[in-house]
Chain A
Amino acid sequence: QITLKESGPTLVKPTQTLTLTCTFSGFSLSTNGVGVGWIRQPPGKALEWLALIYWDDDKRYSPSLKSRLTITKDTSKNQVVLTMTNMDPVDTATYYCVHRLGSLIVRYHDRFDYWGQGTLVTVSS
Chain B
Amino acid sequence: DIQMTQSPSSLSASVGDRVTITCRASQIISSYLNWYQQKPGKAPKLLIYAASSLHSGVPSRFSGSGSGTDFTLTISSLQPEDFATYYCQQSYSAWTFGQGTKVEIK
**Residues of A that sit less than 8 Å from B by CB:** 37, 46-49, 52, 60, 62-63, 96, 102, 108-113, 115-118
Contacts and interface: CB of A to CB of B under 8 A. Distances in A.
A115 B43 CA distance: 7
A111 B91 contact: yes
B94 A60 contact: yes
Interface residues of chain B: helix, strand, loop or mixed (majority): loop
Contacts of B44: 47, 96, 112, 115
B75 interface: no
Nearest to A114: B46
B95 to A, nearest CB: 4
Interface stretch (B10-18, B20-28, B97-105): B97-105
Interface residues on B, range: 20 to 34
Given A63-B1, A108-B93, A111-B49, A46 B87 contact: yes
B46 A49 contact: no
B45 interface: yes
B35 to A, nearest CB: 10
B94 A46 contact: no
